[in-house]
Amino acid sequence: MTTRDRMLDAAAHVMRTRGLARATTKEIAKAAGFSEAALYKHFADKTDLFLAVLKERAPSDLRNLLDELEAGRGDVRETLVGIVRAATAFYRETFPIAASIFSEPALLAAHREALKAHETGPQVVPQTLARYLEAERALGRLPAGVDARSAADLLLGACHYHAFLGFFTDSRTDPEALVATLWNGLG
């Protein structure tokens, strides 16, 4: 295991248990068995580390599905069911890391600016899904009146909600039911 991998594993653990707002680079470096200076040789700042944890240590199914989306290939409805499964798992895994950032407005503002500088953020997922839905609509595989952005927001919002709810109840997401409800509304 490389130094960077050990740092990412430690960061994922510390961020999951303490939340992003309370996790410090000093604590992460110590958990990995390295100095804070060593950590900064691999990561520019805590946001860079956070993004690496999301990209490399969070469930990758959602990222893989979004990277492979291609209009006209496969069944749209089945693709959406896969996205619901992957998005719910991703959100369930990342909530404990990211939720604490909302408790500190200054940290949230700094994090927002860092995401902007990295040209990434939570908006990427619905934007990617909306582009896919727009392309499917253009191919005639979705009704002409479908608002792709709203459909993406509704579907991913439901995933977000079910992941959140899972921390308080034994409720489980039924991907087929979510997609069927959206699909019937689209038709």
* pLDDT tens digits for range 140-161: 999 999 999 999 999 999 999 9
Q: Where are the alpha helices (DSSP H) in the chain?
A: 3-18, 25-32, 36-42, 46-56, 61-68, 76-98, 105-117, 124-138, 148-165, 175-186
How many Å apart are CA 38 and CA 172, to the nearest integer? 41
- Predicted confidence at residue 186, as pLDDT, reads 67
Q: How much is the pTM?
A: 0.83
User: What single-letter amino acid sits at 3?
Assistant: T
Taking only Cα atoms into account, the Rg of the chain, rounded to an integer number of angstroms, comes to 18
61, pLDDT greater than 70: yes
28 and 11 Cβ atoms separated by less than 8 Å: yes
Tell me the domains of the chain and their CATH numbers: 1-57 (1.10.10.60), 59-187 (1.10.357.10)
Which two tokens mark 94? 């990342």
- Predicted confidence at residue 87, as pLDDT, reads 94
Confidence at 187, pLDDT banded by 50, 70, 90: low
12 and 43 Cβ atoms separated by less than 8 Å: no
151 and 133 Cβ atoms separated by less than 8 Å: yes
> What length does the chain have?
187
Pick from 143, 177, 146, 145: nearest CA to 159: 177
Pick from 156, 152, 124: nearest CA to 54: 124
Mean pLDDT score, 78-106: 89
How far the first Cα of the chain sits from its last, in Å, is: 50
